[in-house]
Amino acid sequence: MQASEQIWMDGKFVPWGEANVHILTHSLHYGLAAFEGIRCYKGKQGSAIFRLQEHVDRLFESAHIAMMAIPYDKKQVTEAIIETVRVNKLDSCYIRPLVYIGYGMMGVHPGDNPIRLAIAAWRWGAYLGEEALTHGMRACVSSFTRHHVNVSMTRGKISGYYVNSILAKREAKANGYDEAILLDPDGYVAEGTGENVFIVRRGRLITTPLTSILEGITRSSLMQLARERNLQVVEERFTRDAMYVAEEAFVTGTAAEVTPIREIDGRRIGTGKPGPITTSLQQAFFAIVRGEDSAHSNWLTPV
């Protein structure tokens, strides 16, 4: 990680190396915290944050699901995110707001411990690597199952849920793959460790329905771009072997952006290279976030 200069913590900026919490911070022990991943891109007209309002909305939704009342309103949080990028003089970056339960009561019930908010931003390149963005990544179906909707409320982007992702990711990397794809409790494809999954099958763009997955903001953006290009977009359950016989496959996410999949479980996907639909949507996405296509300028918040 490339350290920046300042982190916003509870209404004020503190030096990066001094942005600390007490070792008995409740969220550190029990995992109940809500967070977002947001990207700022350097574009033709200057730097801009991608779909900032949607990310702020989802942060508040996640906190609400977790019964954490954020002590700031959406306008204040939005302004704090923009200011964090400005203060650190970042023309492109990844932004991480984190709502967490602070120090006080110990035990499963946090009592009236304070709800705290921190916002960090730092330079971060391609999450799965430039090679994966260009040529596609290798994935495997994980031995770990994704969350059941009544075990983990999957509309919330909750820190503790990502233990499942960490275990799946470690397993995949240990076995020589770039990423893991998890199945839902019924055995259908759910999502990656931090990404939504798409396949192209017989000309249709198919993605998993909002049953046991996080409602991805990049996911919804790609679906809109696909429909604008007269592609048939379908939300339906599909099996792991449906991925094996797909013509194309890719994942989306704030960190992963639009990353093609060239292989799953040792099986080549399509030609083993990014397909025409994946490539077209990837190019359309990057043209928008870099300010080269003004069709969705409302998705960008200037810094």
Query: What span, in angstroms and rounded, lies between the C-alpha atoms of 140 and 123?
Result: 28
| DSSP string covering 213-258 | S---HHHHHHHHHHHHTT-EEEE----HHHHHT-SEEEEEETTTEE
Give me the residue label for tokens 């249709």.
204
Residue type, 6: Q
Query: What span, in angstroms and rounded, lies between the C-alpha atoms of 296 and 287?
Result: 10
Q: Is 228 exposed, middle or buried (0-12, 13-18, 19+ CB in 10 A)?
A: exposed
Q: Annotated catalytic sites, by residue?
A: 157
b/e map 233-266, b = 16+ CB within 10 Å? beeeebeeebbbebbbbbbbbbebbbbbbbbbee
202: left (phi over 0), alpha (psi -120 to 50) or beta: left
Which run of H or of E encompasses 26? Answer: helix 26-30
